[in-house]
Chain A
């Protein structure tokens, strides 16, 4: 099974969570969307055992809203991780539920713990102190709660960061950036 970690901020909890459920033969892929600043958390994922690392970046993506971002992520997942087991975001954003809908899978947000029992993978969600434990089907999109710290162990990997853009993801120019966005900025007050 291939696990995908999507990095926005500190990826350590996402790496720790995925490591806790990985079995022999499973692999880890990391992805981030943005500038070179994201190379640092991607390298952290590599040090946590990611065998592949991608940074999605293209000038054509500038000005994209969450709808377009989720479509870019969907294109990436379809193209590079068609056999994914779980997609884990290091934090919550509007992109998470949108991506889950576009992939037609379940979403699990504000997750404080991911684990594995005899029946499969489970997640514990925390809605402002109201916690619940859910079964997580294969293919689901998970986003970690911001305030959890799950340690991870260092592993060997010689993966390098690959930059992918609009053409690699086979996205039409009018479907991305400001032109593809549903939300437009009208200006400051």
Chain B
């Protein structure tokens, strides 16, 4: 099919077919192309993996996850999404998540995911990311977070910075601080979403806002990538 030789509307502009140029770009107001980068990502907001643990038979949120939710709110980079795994018992953590600042909580409701299955967790987080397109994904630097984050990053073809000790935002880009060999280095990620794991107690633990509301969404894990736990 012959299209217009100069504009991006290959095959759909009025001059396509006869091989002439529509001079499409020249018809735009002066400076518009320079002002608007139409090729950039539309990723926005922060997604936090909410890690849980059981203590005396009670399900609790990992303190670093709470700190990350509060940090996500402080970054003010759009909506704050949370992802949490497990059966109906996870409902007890909805209000706590909303009180720290989660706007939309994706509950991957599957009794088997009460146990840590990194493959299924990563596939679920990736599918939520495909829905909400966050600019950043934050996880705690726990053993589980450190194992999960690189798999999530790889599944989305993006990079991961682990064990960071500070975060700043420039536009939608994160500046990540990490202690390496006695020095604090600054890192950036060239792709979205930017996946990071954050050390415990780098950010203050939030108080929580009582009666703050959010939206809970049941998410169904459609894969079958469970481990056989003996």
Contact = CB atoms under 8 A, between A and B. Distances in A.
The binding surface of chain B is classed by DSSP as mixed
B186 A187 contact: yes
A185 interface: yes
Contacts of B157: 67, 182
A107 interface: yes
Interface string B114-128: 011011001000000
A89 interface: no
B150 A106 contact: no
B220 interface: no
Place the interface of chain A in its size category: 20 to 34
A186 B187 contact: yes
Nearest to B123: A101
Interface residues of B, number: 39
Nearest to A140: B227
Interface string A152-189: 00000000000000000000000000000111111111
Contacts of B187: 183-186
Contacts of B229: 132-134
B159 A181 contact: yes
Nearest to B54: A130
25 contacts: A66-B160, A70-B150, A70-B154, A92-B146, A94-B146, A94-B150, A94-B162, A97-B122, A97-B148, A97-B154, A98-B154, A106-B119, A107-B119, A109-B147, A132-B229, A135-B227, A135-B228, A181-B190, A182-B158, A182-B159, A182-B189, A184-B187, A185-B187, A186-B186, A188-B183
Give the 4 A-B CB pairs with smallest separation, nearest first.
A182-B159, A135-B228, A97-B151, A186-B186
